[in-house]
Amino acid sequence: MKKSIKLAVVAALALGATSAFATNGDHMIGFSAESRALGGTGIAHYMGSANALTNPALLAKMKNKDEFIFAGTIFDADVKVKTTAGSVANPRVGVSKTSDEDVSVIPAISLAHRINNNLVLGLGMYGTAGMGTDWRFTDKSSIQNYNGKVDLYNMRSSLMLMQFAPSLAYGNDVYGIGITGIVQYGSLSVDYDTNGQDKHAKHIGSGSSDDFGFGFQIGAYYNPIKSLTIGAVYKSAIDMEYKNQISDAAEAYGYGSNPAALPAKSDHLEQPAEYGIGVSYDMDAFTLTADVKEIKWSDAKGYKDFGWDDQTVYAVGVKYTATSYWAGIGYNYGENPVPNNKSDVPVNGDPRYNTDGDTMNLFNYAMFPATVESTITIGGGYSLSDDLALNAAYTYAPEVSDTVDTSTVVTGHVTTKHSQQALTLALKFTF
């Protein structure tokens, strides 16, 4: 166990090199290869030590003395934005660009140790959420009279979250309960160039800001019959504050500039509370699993200021298990939580300038597009020996296209096209 913990810590530190990723809002679908292969399920389906952040109670179902899983996900997001105005060469003409913020490498490490017949201790470190784009294409030095031009404002944004999750589970063949304490590390950076009429456009942003937050997750399972497991979970909100990020970015657009108009934006960005239920049913070699969970974006600091709606996520998976291998498919759906904001309230109280709706639409659909909805998943695993298995999963989110109004921030209408794919590989050790 001591060697496993040291390996887990070293691997988790590699997360600092990742960029942005997302699926359900800014949340990853599943944290292990098996969960991701089965549509991101895991509230009722047992997957070993990786259950610490899906339903910690299921850790009590572990049959071995110890288990260790090391996984890595190569995540590729393709984000394209097209505007109907704002070109540097001609402000009346739009631009069409593809974000440079695309590929991420995301580690996940989990381990579990059976204390006695009913108690299991778990520990996990996961890349859990993130999003961002990079529109830094404009070479200002080669353009005469750059001031007053837009061209997506040379925006770059990146949010990255990691969770450290010690867990304790108590259970037997009929029921179980579990709790996970969560220590969350987050990093956020937002920067862009203004289109002011100064001699030179002003740069907004001063690098990334970091913070730690704390929360918990509780879970339970019940087996009315041996082949059927019913699970339920609740995960608390985790408040984070990223100094001079959201507030500075919003201030340059006029928030807080007039006491009689819209207030300044806070630097708090709270990961929302979640709750869900799931079922898992075994039929000889086949397992059917399904989850439903609610993500409370509208109650979370920061996200509610940006107009995000609550999101209901549906996940299903089918698994076939043979003597030395397993194979599975799944599907995950969560409606886009970011609506087209149509508020016509002037940010600084002056109707000649940008509205709240257009400004939030630019931030949500160009800086932080969390717009994909459906994900198709497939995967499998093979036992290399009695105590070592190799698992893999591939997920694909088809392209979605959304158009929103951003006229008063000089970009006309913005159309965002967004698709994702990811490959997860994992080694599972039992001993």
Element (H, E) at 356: helix 356-362
Q: What is the pLDDT of residue 14?
A: 43
Which candidate, 157, 124, 162, places its Cα nearest to that of 13? 162
The upper half-sphere exposure of residue 339, i.e. CA atoms within 13 Å in the direction of its Cβ, equals 13
- Per-residue burial over 10-29, b = 16 or more CB atoms within 10 Å of its CB, e = otherwise: ebbeebeebbbbbbbbbbbb
Site of tokens 């970011």 = 338
**3-class DSSP state for residue 48?**
helix
Q: What is the mean pLDDT of the chain?
A: 90
For the ranges 73-82, 101-110, 155-164, 332-341, the lowest mean pLDDT is seen at: 101-110
Whether pLDDT at 208 is above 70: yes
**In terms of C-beta density within 10 A (0-12 exposed, 13-18 middle, 19 or more buried), how is residue 57 classed?**
buried
7-11, 31-35, 53-57, 227-231: range with lowest mean pLDDT: 7-11
Residue 146: what pLDDT? 55
Taking the C-alpha atoms of residue 72 and residue 19, their distance in angstroms, rounded to an integer, is: 14
62-99 pLDDT, tens digit per residue, is 999 999 999 999 999 999 999 999 887 778 889 999 99
Of 77, 79, 81, give the one whose Cα is nearest residue 415: 81
pLDDT for 415: 97
Encoding tokens for residue 89?
């060469």
Q: Is the pLDDT of residue 197 over 70?
A: no
For residue range 141-158, list pLDDT tens digits in order. 555 555 556 788 889 999
Run of H or E including 362: helix 356-362
Average pLDDT over residues 347-374: 93
Q: For residue 2, what are the contacts with CB-CB under 8 A and spacing of at least 6?
A: none
